Amino acid sequence: MAAMIQSTTMFSSSPKTLQLNFHCSPFLASNQKLFSRGFVQFNSKSWRHSMFVNAKPVLKDGALSIGGKGALTNVPDNVVVTPFTNSSAFVGATSADESARHVFKLGVIRDVRFLSLFRFKLWWMIPRVGNSGRDIPVETQMLLLEVGKGQDSDETSYVVFLPIIDGEFRSSLQGNSSNELEFCVESGDPSIVTSQSLRAVFVNSGNHPFDLIKESMKILEKYKGTFTHRESKQMPGMLDCFGWCTWDAFYQDVNPQGIREGLKSLSEGGTPAKFIIIDDGWQDVSNEFQKEGEPFVEGSQFGGRLLSINENNKFRRASNDAQSDAPSDLKSFVSEIKNTYGLKYVFVWHALMGYWGGLVPDVPGTKKYNPELRYPVQSPGNLANMRDLAMDCMEKYGVGAIDADKAHQFLDDLHKYLVSQGVDGVKVDVQNILETISTGSGGRVSLTKQFQQALEKSISSNFQDNSIICCMGLSTDSIYHSKVSAITRASDDYYPKNPSTQTLHIAAVSYNSIFLGEVVVPDWDMFYSLHEAAEFHAAARAVGGCGVYVSDKPGHHDFEVLKRLVLPDGSVLRARYPGRPSRDCLFNDPVMDGESLLKIWNLNKCTGVIGIFNCQGAGSWPCMSNPIQKNVSDELSGLVSPADIEYFDEVSGTQWTGDCAVFSFNSGSLSRVPKDESLSITLKVLKCEVLTVSPIKVYNKNIEFAAIGLLNMYNSGGAVEKVDLLLSDSSNCGIRIKGRGPGRFGAYSSTKPKSCSVNSKSSEEIKYRSEDNLFTVTIPSTISNWDITLHY
């Protein structure tokens, strides 16, 4: 069959072959005006409006052009391109044979910088950069190309390839040794076969990489109707509270007394936890592979199965055991810790199938859910990357899989019970197990859809506030079925005992957030506040726009670090968006190239923020056939600019001078930096810096002012809610700043204010540093919300 471009295509109606129900959307890419730039040192940067390239995809003479730029060459004859919007298309292919799994060649990629986000384990993604098709890993779930200048523009153009769900088949990308880009489609069930997948990959182009990803995901949201964009989801309230997770504090030995001690020590130190995750270890579990009195076998914990939806005897005292230290039941314990420690949200952990090994078959507490012992089978794509202990053990021990038709009944029963015990939400783990047990159950796509719908229906009907954290669910099977869930773990676990994973964790989450952050708020996982990499992790959470929670052992805290993240009332200064790498970092390797710093940008209500991290020389990415760690000096230097912060026009407004006040958390210094210039930053390995970037605006024609925020917090500007001109005449000017949290408030002010009041009370605790125009006032610890008025 000749290579073709088509407008519409329908698949065979055979019940065991791929079917599509096309509902073409009138949705077109947005032309909203947003700032973009190319990173060039000092004064040659420019901030221009972004646009989507109005040039439809063209397949001609074996070459695929997207947005007027060549994306693929040597495109095979069986490849089919279906234009969609003016800049996008669906790409697929046909075969002479029917199969449950196909690998199709798409064409050659050579000499172009790319960013791949791929599953290196069944559960998790990491980034990979390169410049040829051979460098693209198996199980790539997003591929972003930098394709050079567009035909009608001097700006850099980008092309994104998004492998999606096509009927009952899930697709992924990969490269081969001939520099060819391939896509793989698979159903996960040998009985579900097809000879074609015509809309397996969505391709789009544009001049602004973050707009491109966002608008592509919004196009797919409307076209597919199977998932919802993050902006349309309800955000759980716990995101804005400081939390504590029991996992790394106790692992499976979690117990009520340990929880009490941990909450008490955090509260007494001035950083009270307002939400808690009671992780693995609270459930009623049986494990035939862990015999009492016998030596522990590594991995045998993943053979445990759930006996009932109730808590175990650590959290429920037997009626005939008056001497036990256990609470009478989970309900009384939850009530106790809420009342004693002021917790707002109590979450508990469970696996999607109840526990790691699912449910115990044929016992009274689980029998009605028809659990069946199944032995997971991974796809060739997963096996081509990194093995995982949990998955290996579940393959060995089997999983007591819940009948898909009983999934909602099980989850609803479990969640109703938890609500009756005072529990406010759940962390649901081990979600990608579904793709490995889908044979005979309609395939991986159908099974994931069934369970995801059952899960989200139960969450919506039982818990307030959309209170769920999804985990171990980074396959696109799950991502493209996320209609309600608003938080998903964005990386492999935090491993406090493994020094080589600390930098990888920060880099992986920030890059994964480019894609994942369009569907959910990426969860950065827990960390230790008392650890050699504690500040590195803390600063990343401050700029990550995520929930903030630690897993400290009771009494093992660094309150100096915690108080830079957490206000005395237990709230945090969460930035507005998922924290992502700056544009000039997109195609660099901040972990292994020996020269690149990682910059993560975000916005608050009135300011921008950028975190800079030296991730070099402390670890190596997995799944590299020949990893080469370049020699790294003790320190690395790089340039940082206000222009690194995307969408800065959202905070700059019409009064902006074009200059920014840039506050360094590390040095406490304040610099005035034009929008198109840079500062040089030098950092040692595993060290970081956080810069608050505030637009300097003109008030009353002669006062130049920029609120910084609480100088004692990593994300200083997160404390500022609003800045207004209060009054103005020829001789008087007042500026009013509203915000929250005690500490030292700072601002850039071109002249020293005549007076300052905090919540209508005159303040004597003011200072003005004329050498850098830094104005500061101390906000008492008794004040949670403040209204500062400066008179000039």
Q: Is residue 71 classed exposed, middle or buried when 0-12, 13-18 and 19+ CB atoms within 10 A define those classes?
A: buried
Residue 350 in contact with residue 428, Cβ under 8 Å?
A: yes
- Strand 79-83 relative to strand 88-99, pairing: antiparallel
Q: How many helices (H) and strands (E) does the chain have?
A: 13, 46
Q: Is 273 left (phi over 0), alpha (psi -120 to 50) or beta?
A: beta
- Among 129, 127, 91, 125, smallest CA distance to 112 is for 129
- N-term to C-term CA, the chain: 77
Q: Which of 505, 545, 600 is nearest to 235 (CA)?
A: 545
Contact yes or no for 388/428 (Cβ under 8 A): no
Packed helices 502-516 and 534-544: angle between N→C axes, nearest 10 degrees: 10
What b/e string do you get for 27-61 counting C-beta neighbours within 10 Å, with b at 16 or more?
Answer: eebeeeebbbbbbeeeeebebbebbbbebbbbbee
- pLDDT tens digits, residue range 568-612? 999 999 999 999 999 999 999 999 999 999 999 999 999 999 999
Length of the chain: 792
Residue 67 pLDDT? 81
Closest CA to 640 of 683, 589, 607, 686: 683
Counting other chains too, the contacts that 725-733 makes at CB distance below 8 Å and 24 or more residues apart are 725/699, 725/700, 726/789, 728/699, 728/700, 732/791, 732/792, 733/699, 733/700, 733/703, 733/791, 733/792
Q: What is the dihedral of CA 361, 168, 395, 383, to 10 degrees?
A: -170
- The model carries a pTM of 0.92
C-alpha 168/C-alpha 690 separation (Å) is 45
Cβ-in-10-Å burial (0-12, 13-18, 19+) of 420 comes to exposed
Starting at the edge strand that comes first in sequence, how are the strands of the sheet with 69-72 ordered? 58-60, 63-66, 69-72
Taking only the tens place, the pLDDT of each residue in 686-720 is: 999 999 999 999 998 889 999 999 999 999 999 99
- What is the pLDDT, as a whole number, of residue 69? 85
Q: What is d(CA 519, CA 420) in angstroms, rounded to the nearest whole number? A: 31
Give the three-class secondary structure for 717: helix
Q: How many CA atoms lie within 13 A of 492 on its CB side?
A: 25
In the 3-class helix/strand/coil scheme, how is 581-625 assigned residue by residue?
A: ECHHHCCCCCCCCCCCCEEEEEECCCCEEEEEECCCCCCCCCCCC
The backbone region for 511, taken as left when phi is positive above 0, alpha when psi lies in -120 to 50, beta otherwise, is alpha
Cβ atoms of 50 and 40 within 8 Å: the answer is no
Positions of the chain with pLDDT lower than 70, given as ranges: 1-55, 149-153, 322, 728-730
In the block, tokens 């290196």 appear at: 120
The tokens describing 194, both together, are 């097809």
Cα separation, 193 vs 764, whole angstroms: 76
Tokens 């303040």, residue? Answer: 763
Average pLDDT, the chain: 91
Which two tokens mark 566? 């957490």
- Closest listed residue to residue 170, CA positions, set 485, 487, 6, 382: 382
**Token duo for residue 554:** 């009771």
Which pLDDT score, from 0 to 100, does residue 2 have?
A: 42
Tokens of 646: 């995307």
Q: What is the pLDDT of residue 153?
A: 60
Question: CA 612, CA 639: separation in Å to the nearest integer?
Answer: 10
Q: Strands (DSSP E) along 653-762, which ranges? A: 656-664, 670-674, 679-684, 688-699, 703-710, 720-728, 733-740, 743-749, 755-758, 761-762
Query: How far apart, in whole angstroms, are the C-alpha atoms of residue 418 and residue 762?
Result: 50
Contact 648, 656 (CB under 8 A): no
Which backbone phi and psi does 466 adopt, to 5 degrees?
55, 50
Give the number of other CB atoms < 10 A from CB of residue 487: 25
